[in-house]
Chain A
Amino acid sequence: MTSTDTTVVPHKRVAKRKFQSEMSMAVVLVGIALVFEVLGWIFVGTSFLANQQRLSIIILQVSVIGILAVGVTHVIITGGIDLASGSVVGLSAMVAASLAQSSIDTRALYPALTDLFPIWPLLAGLVVGILAGWISGFLIAKTGIPPFIATLGMMVCARGVAKWYTLGQPISLLTPEFTWFGKSFLVLGFPVPLPVLIFLGVAALSHIALSYTRYGKYTYAIGSNPQAARVSGIDIGAHLIKVYAVAGLLSGLAGVVTAARAGSAQPVMGTAYELDAIAAAVIGGTSLAGGSGRIPGTLIGTIILGVITSGFTFLKIGSYYQEIIKGAIIVFAVVIDQYRRSRKTRV
């Protein structure tokens, strides 16, 4: 290079700035929890937070949404959207459950394939998910249709396939080995549900993938400026297919977990989950414009959703009111986030 100057300023990672947005989300989370705590003492007469069972239920309830939210975060960072995740949950739950039936069910869907080792239904659910994601990604990459349309189509189709698969009938009597995926374990004396561990594991792996691998760097680059990414030698089409396949894989996993938790599967499982997942990612600071967003934020966003739902139930607020207030909170959280961002940059 031009200069012979070899002095290097010691490399410093500015962790502080990186976690700034997560910190402010965490503050919001704590704030919401404290509001419920105070309201709890006033209206119910008990503590909201000092109830270990409630805390573990909060996370258990959102773990499926959380897995989807992690997947959709990948997609939103590329500047896309995944509307199909909820339907893919339903389809994957059905396919996995059909291979997880116990032989005591005399009317099993595949009588020859009962009492299978649970790895097979798990794999089947994941493959269904990857396939659905791959098809969406392929359509987006090769035909250039907007992700909104491609995944909207997949959302409708996957739900249709899920219903067609058993002509609308639920699948029940799953083997105990399979429902193990939805069970809890005692870790250091605390009951920890496996779905929660799966959610946290998926989040951790995703965070590593997005932050420390080429896959992640390319994902952010494409979302920030696809044209510049292309000129920088990135095969955008191939990468988008990968990203949607990853999101599909996670939807498939969420479907398996859902079926295992319920001990049965119905074609309507996961309806409207995609919207909660998108809400969790967006509350967590992922920008729908693409190019920004981080898994820790999505994690916090998911827990915020869980705390809100649990808090409403705790305060015995009717489900109609719950939805109204939840919608307002989602919008409000993003308005606050926008305001905070716009203040940081000059006019």
Chain B
Amino acid sequence: MQKISPSTVKAVRESGAVPNAEFLLEVKDVRKEFSGTVALDDVSFRLRRGTVHALMGENGAGKSTLMKIIAGIYQPDAGEVYLNALPIRLNNPLDALDNGIAMIHQELNLMNHMTVAENIWIRREPKTRIGLIDHAALYKNTSELFAELGIDLDPRDKVGTLSVASRQMVEIAKAVSYESDVLIMDEPTSALTEREVEHLFRIIRTLRERGKGIIYITHKMNELFEIADEVSIFRDGKYIATKFASELTRDEVIRMMVGREISQMFPKVPAEIGNVVLSVQNLCLAGVFEDVSFDLHSGEILGIAGLVGAGRSNIAETIFGVTPATAGTIEVDGKVVKVASPAIAMECGMAFLTEDRKESGCFLLLDIQQNMQIAALRNNYLQRGFVDQKRLSRDCELMGQSLRVKTPDMDEKILNLSGGNQQKVLIGRWLLTKPRILILDEPTRGIDVGAKAEIHRMISTLAAEGVAVIMISSELPEILGMSDRILTVRQGRVAGILDRAEADQVKIMELAAQ
């Protein structure tokens, strides 16, 4: 079949003579292989005009590959893509943009040193008569765009100074500025607070009303029912089903995604709560948080809830010595410790799984073995100056197996693992240090349902073995399902501590927001 070149489609679009096909976008029998592994196996997918279409599936199910084909990043090995019932061929992401398909990436691709407006209009900057950039028009266009979408940002701010949520708004505005009909959002809420998510959803609804088609990849079940009109489910590179969201239940979705029943999402094991192992008194980090006090008992899981930016991660970083406290005390086993560096925290038996896997967790260039062993090297596994690699490798391998890290080989680069498996490797890194106090910052962010349940089970088991756990999470169901007590942070202060029995979503949100 003769395919229409992107430039023709662009001309047709600009003439306004675009046929109003029932389906905005149609993907037929698309197949994609990477060096022998089938990533997409004859997958079909249809996006209606003016709908939000959620894609669900475990990591590795093929959602991202499909999206990258639609966005022109990959070219399919077989199959057709139709836009407005016209067959199209996209050779690169710019082709896709010119055709009205915009992707908002999970990792935001913005230039931090440039302003919001410059980022949005890059390579399409309004010019003055003599060919210089017309900054006045640039900022005016941006303000108009923001007004239309209900975004409250200064176009002159540098992107680097914005929060993750604001940057995402910029990305969305950029996509809309291309007059895109199809918007692809890959886990847009993974770094947002509840309130920011609401704002995002408002914008998505505005876009839907304007007839755009939105493809929405998510791992979060509650979002699915809140925002999506239709749901397509993928598993192992195969298309499973497309349903209206209103006709589905949570359990059905999970069953279709994993192909098996997940008995319980939050398998909390009753643990014996022991002595206070960590006591934080009036902890301060000037300008970030102040007067934070709480006790942590062995065997206890203390959930920390709150909006992003409230200081949850900062508190954890200070307890672990990444950013030492400016005032207040930290007591471990009743003894005051001046935690001035992570090394000191580790000597006290602490371990800290950071929030951002890529930024401060993984050594992306190194293999699984090297990633897992690095913390344990500190005070163990040395023999006359040399690393006892045999014993260390054996322990890492055992740890990998008990955490069910899916990999053919410990020499595999961690870069090639899925998010869930990377997280398991990082958890393994800390468990090898045999911690008594485990601090987990967003332990299941961006992880598929199966791996999530496994990590939850592991956290429960550790607590049952007497490890004291602090778990920071933006997902309230996770906090409520796992914690013995829940500490809520609001604007750098402890807003309240609730017991498991009395806590519910409403109470936590009341404490967090106000």
Question: Which residues of A does B touch, CB under 8 Å?
Answer: 1-3, 5-6, 8-9, 11, 13-14, 17, 212-214, 217-218, 220-221, 223-225, 227-235, 287, 291-292, 345-347
Contact = CB atoms under 8 A, between A and B. Distances in A.
B429 A1 contact: no
Interface in B313-344: 320, 322, 341-343
Interface in B48-93: 73-74
Given A3-B401, A220-B370, A221-B374, A11 B387 contact: no
A227 B356 CA distance: 10
Interface string B438-463: 00000000000000000001100110
Given A14-B409, A217-B370, A233 B402 contact: no
Contacts of A287: 365
Contacts of A214: 377, 382, 387
B375 A292 contact: no
B4 to A, nearest CB: 25
Given A213-B386, A225-B363, 7 more contacts: A1-B402, A212-B387, A213-B385, A218-B374, A231-B352, A233-B341, A235-B341
Interface stretch (B252-260, B299-307, B392-400, B499-507): B392-400
A340 to B, nearest CB: 15
A160 to B, nearest CB: 36
B399 A224 contact: no
Contacts of A212: 386-387, 389
Contacts of B346: 233
A292 B365 contact: yes
Contacts of B387: 212-214, 217
A232 B74 contact: no
A9 B397 contact: yes
Nearest to A227: B360
Interface of B: 34, 73-74, 320, 322, 341-343, 345-346, 352, 354, 359-366, 370, 373-375, 377-378, 382, 385-387, 389-390, 393-394, 397-399, 401-403, 409, 411, 415-416, 429, 431, 457-458, 461-462
Nearest to B320: A231
Given A2-B461, A14-B409, A231 B363 contact: no
A217 B362 contact: no
Contact of A11 (B397, B415, B457): B397
Contact of A231 (B322, B364, B373, B385): B322
B338 to A, nearest CB: 16
A8 to B, nearest CB: 6
Contact of A2 (B373, B374, B397, B402): B402
A235 B401 contact: no
Contacts of B352: 231
Nearest to B378: A233
Interface centre among A3, A17, A231 (most CB of B within 10 A): A231
21 contacts: A1-B398, A1-B431, A2-B461, A3-B402, A6-B398, A8-B397, A9-B401, A13-B393, A212-B386, A213-B385, A213-B386, A217-B377, A218-B377, A225-B362, A228-B359, A228-B361, A228-B362, A231-B322, A233-B346, A233-B378, A346-B34
B442 to A, nearest CB: 14
A1 B462 CA distance: 7
A5 B403 CA distance: 11
